[in-house]
Amino acid sequence: MGNICGSPLKVSIGSARKTSENPVGDDLIRRFLPVLAASLCLSQILPGAAFAQRWRASGQTAGLVVDGALTGLSLTCTGSGLAITLSGFAARFGTGERYTVGVSVDGTAYLFDTAARADPNGAGSILVGTVPAKSAAGFVDALRKGKAAEVASPAGRYKVPLSGSGAALERLAHCGGS
């Protein structure tokens, strides 16, 4: 008798008289059962979590959308250049306070000067900056083709998944003449 996700579960594979002619099959079932049980538990804890976040573009902005709202990292073509917004953390900073933030994409670091603003969608702050024209095309290309990004800010470090970023960032590839 085991306890899976708070519910009792009886497992009798191998404890009863063997009826299978294929001992390899029984062994596979014995090994697979814990994986199946763990998957079922996670599906109850995190329903739809794998589908709740993805990169999207809307107008001149592209970024990671979680539960319908931009969060983590987004880029906006302003006409005169590319703006970066970092959000999704609960930390509060004084409006206008300046911070240097690093974004590492597949091991290549990009640094941005940002200013704190009140988060219009939450209780914390967001950090907003300008992507320098000389590095904008390379940064957007890295995000489009990258596998993983990590943001290092005064609020801490967090990872930003890049799956789907290529299509979402396509329209920003030549923003501001970059």
Cα of 34 vs its chain's centroid, Å: 27
**Per DSSP, which regions of the chain are E strands?**
2-4, 7-9, 53-58, 61-66, 69-77, 82-87, 98-105, 108-118, 125-131, 148-153, 156-161
**Is 57:168 a contact under the CB 8 Å cutoff?**
yes
Condensed to tens digits (0 to 9), the pLDDT of residues 19-52 reads 445 555 555 445 543 443 444 333 343 344 444 7
Domains of the chain with bracketed CATH = 2-45 (no CATH), 52-177 (2.60.40)
Query: Do strands 7-9 and 53-58 pair parallel, antiparallel, or not at all (unpaired)?
Result: unpaired
Is pTM beyond 0.85? Reply is no
pLDDT band at residue 168 under the 50/70/90 scheme: very high
Average pLDDT over the chain, rounded to an integer = 78
pLDDT tens-digit readout, 97-127:
999 999 999 999 999 999 999 998 888 999 9
